[in-house]
Amino acid sequence: MPMTKPSFSDPIFVAGHRGLVGSAVVRALESAGYTNLITRRSSDLDLREQAAVRAFFASEQPRYVICAAAMVGGIAANNDFPGTFIYDNLAIQTNVIEACRQQAVKKLIYLGSTCIYPKHAPQPIQEEHLLTGPLEETNEAYAIAKIAGLKMCEAYAKQYGMSSITLMATNLYGQGDNFDLEKSHVIPALMRKAHEAKLADAKTMTVWGTGKPLREFLYVDDMAAAARYCLEHDTPYSMVNVGSGEEISIADLCRLICDVVGFRGELIFNPEKPDGTPRKLADSSRLRDLGWSPTVGLRDGLEKTYRWFSQTANARLGD
C-alpha cells in the first residue's frame, strides 16, 4: 500500500541524535519544517535496555523512526573492541526494530554501513554482493551486527509487513564527528593530527598503514538528505547504498586534509597499523535513480568540517 508522506507534525524518533549522522538528520528535518522530533540522550534512554525501550515507545508513540544510534568507530576501535561493537549494536537495533513493530511505526529508516560487504567484493559494490564472501577482519564484529539488523528488518517486512529501509552508508564525515585520535575514523583523526602539528610547528605527522587503500567519503549532510528522501518517499528496496561514487587513496586524502588545514610538514606512514579493506566503493545507483544525489564535494566538505572543528576545538580539549 503506498505510504503517506509524513506530516510535519508527526512524531519522529531520531535515535542517536547527538552522533555524526543523528545530529545531521535532526538539522535536515528541522530545516525541512518537521516540528515534532523526539530525541533522548543515552544517559536518559539506554537503547540496549529492552524494557526501557519498550516503555519509551509505548509512552511516546513515534510514527516514524530513524535509527542512527550505534556503537561506531574507526579501524582501531573496531579491531580492539569487537565484543562491545557486536553486543551494543545487536542490543540497540534489536530493541528498536522490535519496538517499532510493537508500536506499529509507519516506517523505520535503519542506518547500516558499506563495511558489511565482503573484503574483496567486486567494485563498485552493489547491494547484491552482500554475503558473497569473507568480511574484512578488522570490523567483522560490527559488520555481522549491522547485517543482522538488515536481515531483521527484512524478516519483519516479510512476517509482519513492517515498512523499513536500510541505508548502507559509505565512510561519512562532517561536523559533529568524533575526533578522538584512537577511536575515530580516518578523516577526523588526520584532520586533528594535521591541526595539532600545524599549531606545534611540527615537521612531520603520522599516518596509519601504507596510505595505499582507497576509500569513498560522503559529507554527512548528504547522508541526512538521503535519510529524509527515504522517509518521504516509497522505494522498492529493503536496502540502498549511499555513497559519493568517488574514491581517493588514504595518502592523497591526507595530502588534501593537510592542504585544507595548512600543515606543510612531511607525512610519516606507519605500516604497523592496519590498512583494513583495500577498497569499498559503493554503487549507489539504486538511490540515485530514485532522485537522490550528493551535493558536497570532498574538498568543500573537508573545508566545512575544518571550520567547524576549529571553532569548537577549545570546547573539546582533552578528547
Q: Using the rule CB under 6 A, is 190 a contact of ligand GFB?
A: yes
Q: Are 265 and 202 in contact (CB under 8 A)?
A: yes
Size of the site for ligand GFB (CB under 6 A): 25
Q: Are 125 and 283 in contact (CB under 8 A)?
A: yes
Helices marked H in the chain: 20-32, 50-60, 75-80, 82-102, 140-160, 186-199, 220-232, 250-261, 285-290, 298-312
State the nearest-atom distance from the C-beta of 171 to ligand GFB, in Å. 4
Kindly report the CA angle at 271 between 266 and 277, in degrees rounded to 5?
115
**Any residues with CB less than 8 A from the CB of 271 and at least 6 apart, and which?**
209, 210
Nearest-angstrom CA–CA distance, 235 and 185 = 30
Nearer to ligand GFB, 11 or 274 (CB): 274
Binding track over 212-231 against ligand GFB, x by CB under 6 A: -x-x----------------
Question: Residue 212 has which C-alpha cell?
Answer: 595505499
Nearer to ligand GFB, 45 or 267 (CB): 267
Q: Using the rule CB under 6 A, is 196 a contact of ligand GFB?
A: no
Nearest residue (beta carbon) to ligand GFB: 74
39-78 residues in contact with ligand GFB (CB under 6 A) are: 74-76, 78
- By CB under 6 A, which span of 14-22, 223-231, 271-279, 286-294 interacts with ligand GFB? 271-279
Nearer to ligand GFB, 100 or 222 (CB): 222
**Candidate residues 207, 239, 296, 302; the one interacting with ligand GFB per rule CB under 6 A:** 207
Nearer to ligand GFB, 34 or 136 (CB): 136
Q: Using the rule CB under 6 A, is 273 a contact of ligand GFB?
A: yes
Q: Using the rule CB under 6 A, is 171 a contact of ligand GFB?
A: yes
List the one residue out of 112, 119, 147 whose CA is nearest residue 135: 119
**Candidate residues 6, 112, 176, 276; the one interacting with ligand GFB per rule CB under 6 A:** 276
Nearest-angstrom CA–CA distance, 202 and 264 = 9
**H helix or E strand, kind and range, residue 240:** strand 239-242
List the one residue out of 59, 66, 73, 142 whose CA is nearest residue 97: 66
What residues are labeled active site? 142
Q: Using the rule CB under 6 A, is 149 a contact of ligand GFB?
A: no
Q: Are 112 and 146 in contact (CB under 8 A)?
A: yes
Binding track over 231-250 against ligand GFB, x by CB under 6 A: -------------------x
- By CB under 6 A, which span of 29-37, 43-51, 207-215, 304-312 interacts with ligand GFB? 207-215
Nearest-angstrom CA–CA distance, 195 and 201 = 10
* Residue 208 φ/ψ, nearest 5 degrees: -75, 150
**Candidate residues 142, 156, 292, 306; the one interacting with ligand GFB per rule CB under 6 A:** 142
- By CB under 6 A, which span of 9-17, 90-98, 182-190, 196-204 interacts with ligand GFB? 182-190
Question: Residue 255 has which C-alpha cell?
Answer: 595530502
State the nearest-atom distance from the C-beta of 36 to ligand GFB, in Å. 31
Number of Cβ atoms within 10 Å of the Cβ of 239:
20
**Interface ranges with ligand GFB (CB under 6 A):** 74-76, 78, 113, 115, 138-139, 142, 171, 184-186, 189-190, 207-209, 213, 215, 250, 273-276
